[in-house]
Structure 1
Amino acid sequence: MEPLKHECGVAMVRLLKPLEYYQEKYGTWMYGLNKLYLMMEKQHNRGQEGAGMACVNLAALPGHEYMFRERAEGSNAITEIFSTVHKKFMDLSEEQLADVDYARHNLPFAGEMYMGHLRYSTTGKSGLTFVHPFLRRNNWRAKNLCLCGNFNMTNVHEIFEKLLAMGQSPRIYSDTYITLELMGHRLDREVERNFIDAQKKGLKGRDITDYIDDNVKMANVLKTTMTDFDGGYVMCGLTGSGEMFAMRDPWGIRPAFWYKDDEVIALASERPVLQTTFGLDCDDIHELEPGQAIVVTKNGVDSLEQIIEQRGDSKCSFERIYFSRGSDRDIYNERKKLGEQLTESILKAVDYDTEHTVFSFIPNTAEVAFYGMLGGFKRYINDQKIERLYNLGHTPTKDELQEILHQYVRSEKVAWKDIKLRTFITEGNTRKDLASHVYDVTYGSIEPYVDNLVIIDDSIVRGTTLKESILKILDSLHPKKIVVVSSSPQIRYPDYYGIDMPSLEEFCVFGATMQLLKERDMLHVVDDIYENCLAELKKPRAEMRNCVRDIYTPFTVNEINQKIIEMLRPEGMTTPVELVFQSIEGLHEAIPGHKGDWYFTGNYPTPGGTELVNRAFVSFYENKYKKRK
């Protein structure tokens, strides 16, 4: 109920016709620019810390800019960057603005290639310096590289050392910048390869440049750049000579979808973005496969290239549960399934008393799972009606029919997000007091001391909002019992592939488990795990195992649930509370095509994830736990 920060979002547009075509058909040469704006706005949920965009003008003459970039920070960054671009057109007459040739040779962001990025920091680094896209300049058009992505790399240090070994000295230590420098280095080598080939063919001067621009193969650059990276990513880029590419990690962790017709090639992080922007059906859109890249040449010829062989099947399940918009056809059905599958567990929690149970949801992202949960209970009640009618043994009277058929699932809008705490409110006691009023309730929506209240969420992470606000405000309605339902399983482990999750000790599941170990005089388990983590970290990364999983082994999910409730229950609360989590089996049944579940199971898809979770436990033990012993 406390929101996680989303991973980033990407958008790309490659026009396949001359700008005159779009001016004539759509009334503006800004067709590509406008489509990029729509695609970025449709992915606003994926990043609100900053945004940037880039454009390449393939027809620009020497001495004129051909690679444009605009970036901004903050939640209004998309509006800011596009407003900045359009302000440059304000003083033009309608004739000038409609003159494609004038635009092509005089206006910024008049081009055939567009790329956009929405940012959420997954490293804690902020400032315009860290806002994508990143740009590497050179007087050779083919050596200009603009890069952005939805990613987090777990082995940045190794790649950094690789650059140092090449003789480079990167100015910024970040995965984006280091990737840019490594890829830029390989792009330089690819250009030089073509330079040598051109000389062998007897070409000179400008003919050599044209040969290079026409023959750069981005697949070669990607194959010599991305092989050593460990992490989840969709890497997107443009070159000054007209190459466009997007590549997905070989485990399939981060998502990417693309579309092509005779006018445009487009790519986005989410499928509905393309559907809405271009008026498409689901089946018109393709998913980029693990380890695969879509590459578009200067001449608009596209190809799918298998850059790295697929290394796993770990498409992110949290994309489906929470991050991606629920308007996607398949995600919508999956979220409904997640809610529906919890029917039996919830029935047990309310002692099968559906007559005196009210269903609701917090927050809005859980609404689709809520509909699935209602669907499950509607089917259950209908089955009960059929059973009762079947067992009557006689033709029912009108009163009997009314009494049986009038049973229904009771749902209400019980909780409302009422205020947002502002960043200037930092004083501890003040913030804590105000936090209890972030949500408000619909008074009279349940019968006090009679009705159970079932409230579903998509995930429970820290539990802070439950403790400081939700449970307290729901208690004011005096339900007979509160059942808090999570449509996802217990979140036990951090993510290291682009989702900004809290540190290990901040998870309420981890905290409850630590408390159980203390109460049962089992803290030797913590010491053992620490020693095991240290031993694992001495091994080659590929041979490491996740020792942190051992901390949960002594306890059942229900034991941990009960302890979570004890720890999150506000002082003075009298209503009984029960937690119901989705099972791992239920997760895989509802979302069979997305098997990446490391946040729940600790089964990290890459060696880098396993190393980092072991390091996280060592850090916790040495910096937090040992000091409290």
Structure 2
Amino acid sequence: MNGTNHTVATNTRMSDAIKHECGIAMIRLRKPLQYYYDKYNTPTYGMSKLYLLMEKQHNRGQDGVGVANIKLDLPAGSRYISRYRSIAEKPIQDIFEKIGKKYNKANKTNPEEYMNAQWMKENTAFTGEMWLGHLRYGTHGKNSIENCHPFLRQNNWKSRNLVVAGNFNMTNVDELFERLVSLGQSPKDKIDTVTVMEKIGHFLDMEVQRLFDEHKEDYDNIAINKVIEENINLQEVLANSCKDFDGGYAMAGMAGYGGAFVARDPAGIRPAYYYADDEVVVVASEKPAIKTAFDIEYSQIKEIPAAHALIIDKQGDYKVVPFTNSLPKKPCSFERIYFSRASDPNIYQERKDLGKLLIPQVLKAIDNDLENTVFSFIPNTAEVSFLGMTEEVENYLVNERLAAIQRYSNDVEAMKKVLSFRPRIEKLVIKDAKARTFIADDAHRDQMVAHVYDTTYEVVQKEKDTLVIIDDSIVRGTTLEKSILTLVNKLSPKKVVIVSSAPQIRFPDCYGIDMSRMKEFIAFRATLELLEETKQSHILQEVYQKIKENEADLTQENYVKAIYEPFTDEQISDRIAKIVTPAHMEAEVEVIFQTVENLHKACPEHTGDWYFTGNYPTKGGNRVVNKAFKLFIEGSEDRSY
């Protein structure tokens, strides 16, 4: 995704959708193309595998999709790069149906050549050895074909052609733009997708020119192309291109001559995994997509390390090499909480652990009264953490039963009652409409929110039961107030406990999730109210002044942390509960958030927590949060990146 066209999750949730990063898929066929035709008895092997990789990552983007294909070793005059992009209602299906029609036409018009790889390559689009796919969501009304990856940088020299797609955000787009201008370029857009592609393209051009100058005395203009293509150093191209990048990225590229790369940011913020055997090299944003598409074990899938690139040469050989200096590894924890598919066994267990670790807080909130408590969840994203939460309730009950056996050893009926008790689990909230709540118009958003969910009646003891309802996160709180709490109020519970398996979101994200404006966060709004109530609003001006004084360089410190320091997590949670409670709500409402400490216990390998703590993995993050706060104080609706 790029600086103006970030992506958004369609799953409507308690807090409105958190806006989502993208997905990538790459396949490089390593053997001669005829090998796949013969072994799999079809010309569609590469296309079918890319379709599976993308379909199994459709959670990462359903508004816009793009596919590019490169054919190797075609003679001059042959079209060797094909690309389709789509913003149709079902864009993955739309693109692959169009590609499939190319194959069907070839089979219908020249059936005798349909299994001839060379003929297909010369006469049918999307029949090459290199595939790159991308998925995105469109936000801010920006969902046009032009915003869909992959992007092309075209040239008459094969070695200078570049196809780029990525899951990324740069925090220093202005700086990167100025660098391009200083190189003599005049980029058509000031967005990070263009600046990234043009910067890589510039240094690819430089590498080609270096090799041309080095060998021009020894070869003619035709022969020198082969020398250049066999000696291009993509590792060096990336080292020169990316040294100024500040952001989170998993960036995929294919060059027209047959080289390819996937580069991962220095802190490992955005995910990238690969699998290789003697037939293919495959890359995707999520492990389950690779496992499903190629029917392999999870242990065969490897992670591209932070600050490293998977590089594939023209012959199909690959290596994983460093291309920039690494930072402390901080992979995005939201990948584990929400974005990635829970069919990954590690993510599945981590989400269950997130639910389990909330139980001490939940038991306190219900005063250990399990008999009059109903547990439920918001479909569909919180289901796994809900399973973990209810499992931990069962574990708690084991100890309670042991104690009861001793306490009621002479009372068979009492013991039977205790031993047969089970937690009450109901599906109270039902997703009733495929409606989206990220509509820009607030008034229409509220109308949509009110009708996204329905509820189940007659399973709650009126004015006696407490409802415990879990979701993966709470961002804005709009859906809570306008839909969820309004709905469950009709059930007349005694109390409602809203549980978030993620901690309080307090700070903007700038590395791939589109959470950019401070005022959108319910935790920020709650803190503002607390500052005013405790007569500490002067802290806002003090922070603003520090930002103004250091405006020349806002990368050194996150000054915004200071506004949260006067209050405990519980104080902010209590105020959030007041904010989201509808005026007509009769039941008591309590809101519980995951602690940062327990987040790290559940997801020990994914320590990226800047949206919760303000501890950004790159200096550019500090610039973004400080700018976001400054824009808020000044009443500006501009974005901070």
- Short-chain TM bin: over 0.9
Of structures 1 and 2, the one with the larger relative CO (CA 8 A, separation 6+) is 2
Any conservation in 2 of the 1:236–1:245 contact (CA below 8 Å)? yes
Any conservation in 2 of the 1:194–1:212 contact (CA below 8 Å)? yes
SS of equivalent residue, structure 2 residue 105? coil
Any conservation in 2 of the 1:122–1:152 contact (CA below 8 Å)? no
Residue of 606, 610, 621 corresponding to 1:609:
621
For 1:431 and 1:230, locate their aligned partners in 2 and report how far apart those are by CA, in whole Å.
Answer: 34
Residue of 360, 363, 366 corresponding to 1:350:
366
Deviations 1:514-533 (A, max 9, x none): 11112222211111111011
Residue of 137, 140, 165 corresponding to 2:157:
140
Q: Give the aligned residue type for 1:347.
A: L
Give the equivalent residue in structure 2 for 1:61: 75
Deviations 1:82-133 (A, max 9, x none): 1222222333324332232220211111111100001235787442222111
Are residue 243 (structure 1) and residue 255 (structure 2) matched? no
For 1:552 and 1:16, locate their aligned partners in 2 and report how far apart those are by CA, in whole Å.
Answer: 54
Give the equivalent residue in structure 1 for 2:213: 196
Residue of 356, 359, 384 corresponding to 1:340:
356
Give the equivalent residue in structure 1 for 2:3: none
How big is the shift at 1:340? 0.1
Are residue 387 (structure 1) and residue 403 (structure 2) matched? yes
Are residue 159 (structure 1) and residue 181 (structure 2) matched? no
How big is the shift at 1:536? 2.9
Any conservation in 2 of the 1:59–1:104 contact (CA below 8 Å)? no
For 1:421 and 1:236, locate their aligned partners in 2 and report how far apart those are by CA, in whole Å.
Answer: 32
Any conservation in 2 of the 1:150–1:254 contact (CA below 8 Å)? yes
Give the equivalent residue in structure 1 for 2:202: 185
1:226–1:338 distance in 2 versus 1, CA, 3 Å: same
How big is the shift at 1:309? 2.5
Residue of 417, 421, 433 corresponding to 1:419:
433
Are residue 442 (structure 1) and residue 456 (structure 2) matched? yes
Give the equivalent residue in structure 1 for 2:422: 408
TM-score by length of 2: 0.94
How big is the shift at 1:205? 3.1
State which drifts further: 469-478 or 99-108. 99-108
Are residue 129 (structure 1) and residue 146 (structure 2) matched? yes
Give the equivalent residue in structure 2 for 1:534: 548
Give the equivalent residue in structure 1 for 2:515: 501
Q: Give the aligned residue type for 2:291.
A: Q
For 2:397 and 2:31, locate their aligned partners in 1 and report how far apart those are by CA, in whole Å.
Answer: 58
Any conservation in 2 of the 1:439–1:470 contact (CA below 8 Å)? yes
How big is the shift at 1:428? 6.9
1:577–1:443 distance in 2 versus 1, CA, 3 Å: same
1:117–1:434 distance in 2 versus 1, CA, 3 Å: closer
Give the equivalent residue in structure 2 for 1:265: 281
Deviations 1:452-500 (A, max 9, x none): 1100000000000001010010011111110000001000011000111
Mapping for residues 4-23 of structure 1, pairs under 5 Å: 4-23=18-37
For 1:263 and 1:426, locate their aligned partners in 2 and report how far apart those are by CA, in whole Å.
Answer: 47
Are residue 487 (structure 1) and residue 504 (structure 2) matched? no
Residue of 117, 121, 124 corresponding to 2:134:
117
Any conservation in 2 of the 1:121–1:500 contact (CA below 8 Å)? no
For 2:171 and 2:479, locate their aligned partners in 1 and report how far apart those are by CA, in whole Å.
Answer: 30
Q: Give the aligned residue type for 1:441.
A: T
Any conservation in 2 of the 1:61–1:105 contact (CA below 8 Å)? no
Give the equivalent residue in structure 1 for 2:45: 31
Give the equivalent residue in structure 2 for 1:307: 323
How big is the shift at 1:430? 7.0
How big is the shift at 1:47? 1.3
For 2:139 and 2:237, locate their aligned partners in 1 and report how far apart those are by CA, in whole Å.
Answer: 26
SS of equivalent residue, structure 2 residue 24? strand
How big is the shift at 1:451? 1.4
Identical aligned residues as a percent = 46
Are residue 593 (structure 1) and residue 609 (structure 2) matched? no
Are residue 226 (structure 1) and residue 238 (structure 2) matched? no
SS of equivalent residue, structure 2 residue 606? coil
Are residue 51 (structure 1) and residue 65 (structure 2) matched? yes
Are residue 556 (structure 1) and residue 568 (structure 2) matched? yes
State which drifts further: 478-487 or 398-407. 398-407
1:384–1:177 distance in 2 versus 1, CA, 3 Å: same
Instruction: Give me the CA root mean square deviation.
Output: 1.9
Residue of 272, 284, 288 corresponding to 1:256:
272
SS of equivalent residue, structure 2 residue 127? coil
How big is the shift at 1:29? 2.1
Q: Give the aligned residue type for 2:328.
A: G
